[in-house]
Amino acid sequence: MNRYLLVMTACIDPSAGHYPLQRNQPSVRLEDYKSALRYWLKHPDKRLQKILFIENSNYPLNELEQIARDENPLNKDVEFISLDCNWYPPGGHYGYAELRMLDLGLNQSRLRDQTTHMIKISGRFTFPALKKLLDRLPDNFDAAADTRAWRSLTKRHSHPNVTTQIILFKHDFYRAYLQECYKDLETGSETHMEGIYYKKLDALKENHRIVFRFPLNVDPVGHPAHRAKGYQHPSQIVKSGIRAVARRVLPGWWL
């Protein structure tokens, strides 16, 4: 049986980075993380008993730690790791800092070795369909991602990528093939972590158990950092509905 570690990646104060963000106030972002943590602490799925919260701007985590102590009705095991590594190359994307944070945090985690797989999520979001996704994923998979690689009648998507708000890996697979992949962003061949992950997983698909397309929509709930519209905005709901239909009637179109 897969044993999961829910990994919440966080950057409460993004001011050290140069990439422009719409949702950039630390007080607002902290409330997002607090709300998401409360959601996962109360989530009844017994596969989500262990939570790792990694933060990369060296922001005090005392309010979050107090929530884990005082508002933890299911007595979940929660680990907090604070880092100071919100740096990425000039002109680059903040995904570099997130990938590096993930590596550094996992290497320090006591919960990593108590589990077989990680569910890496952007820590400000919740995913109400996560339980259904775990129910439908195969046992002992190496990686599971949702790929965007639509194609027209004449050509495929010119830049396929995986969504990284939520992505799942077997720990041993991640250690062997994906640690330090943020360094690939230093070369300029790729600019975003979504493209890096797709290329690496695509190169490994012949010999590993990789799920490239979720069997259902696993939409985030919350506010993205790079635009004003939240994921529950009517336009986003319409997009999600189109994707849900396409999974059934156009399975080759990875919208």
Per-residue pLDDT tens for 19-36? 678 888 999 999 999 999
Q: What's the mean pLDDT when you consider all of the chain?
A: 88
H runs (alpha helix) in the chain = 26-42, 62-70, 95-108, 130-136, 171-177, 193-204, 234-249
pLDDT band at 56 (very low <50, low <70, confident <90, very high): very high
Residue 157 confidence (pLDDT): 52
Which has the closest alpha carbon to 48: 106, 123, 134, 122? Answer: 134
* CATH class of domain segment(s) 4-249: alpha beta
pLDDT, residue 160, reads: 84
Q: What does the domain layout of the chain look like in residue ranges?
A: 4-249
Least confident of 81-85, 117-121, 214-218: 214-218
Tokens 């320090």, residue located: 108
Q: Which of 19-33, 65-79, 139-153 has the lowest mean pLDDT?
A: 139-153
pLDDT digits (tens, 9 = 90+) for 212-247: 999 999 999 998 776 656 666 676 666 666 666 666
Enter the pTM of the model: 0.89
Q: What is the pLDDT of residue 153?
A: 47
Q: How confident is the model at residue 18 (pLDDT cuts 50, 70, 90)?
A: confident
> Which residue is associated with the tokens 């993205």?
224
**Confidence check: pLDDT of 38 > 70:** yes
HSE-up of 161 (CA within 13 Å, CB side)?
Answer: 12
